Amino acid sequence: MLKRILHSIDSFSSWTGRITSVLIFGMLAVLLYEIFARYLFNAPTIWAHETSAFIFGTYFMLASAYVLSIKGHVSIDIVYGRLSVRAQAILDILTFIFFLLMCITLIWHGGSVALDAWRMGETSQSIWGPPLYPIRTMIPIGATLLLIQGIAKFVRDLNIAVRKEP
């Protein structure tokens, strides 16, 4: 049953990663539009820069669980890469508390900021003034997805550390 749960978590992270990856094309379209409008027609937009930042922020937060599932996050392999799989798992178990604290902080504080943004109808201070609550909401959602994938990794690391096999 545990294998099915872990597989379901991985599948969900993979699914969200694939869906989220499409956002890059939206960001590319916005940036290309701005380039053509600005340099070919001398008509820059007031919304393209912020929109591309919002799209990238959403992409960054929602793709983090997928990146963890494929071991794509940056790591310092000078020492870690030379360790056995079991030693890597033990090190990951020991550092899980920092990961857990980071995710809980992002969920707790990010959720509070998102709720306040929704309550106030917070908007950007730019001339365009788009609503900020959708992008603020991506922080606790992305952190929750990352935490769930991180717990799956933690369970796998425990299995490797105890049974000495992946």
Nearest to 151 by CA among 75, 96, 87: 96
Q: How many C-beta atoms lie closer than 10 Å to residue 94's C-beta?
A: 11
Quote the number of domains for the chain: 1
Q: What is the CA radius of gyration of the chain?
A: 20
Q: For the segment 23-72, what is each residue's pLDDT rounded down to a tens digit?
A: 999 999 999 999 999 999 999 999 999 999 999 999 999 999 999 999 88
98 by Cβ neighbours in 10 Å (0-12 / 13-18 / 19+) ranks as: exposed
Q: With bands split at pLDDT 50, 70 and 90, how would you rate the model's confidence at 1?
A: confident
> What is the pTM for the complete model shown?
0.91
Find out whether 128 and 52 touch, Cβ atoms under 8 Å: no
User: Looking at residues 129-143, what average pLDDT do you find?
Assistant: 97
Q: Kindly report the average pLDDT of the chain as a whole number.
A: 94
> Cα separation of 16 and 155, whole Å?
21
pLDDT at 164 over 80: no
pLDDT at 76 over 90: no
Alpha-helical regions (H) of 22-132? 23-39, 48-69, 77-80, 85-120
Dihedral of the alpha carbons of 9, 14, 18, 20, in degrees to the nearest 10: 50
Domain range for 34 is 2-163
Q: What is the pLDDT of residue 75?
A: 75
pLDDT at 13 over 70: yes
86 by Cβ neighbours in 10 Å (0-12 / 13-18 / 19+) ranks as: middle
pLDDT at 154 over 70: yes
Q: How many C-beta atoms lie closer than 10 Å to residue 145's C-beta?
A: 24
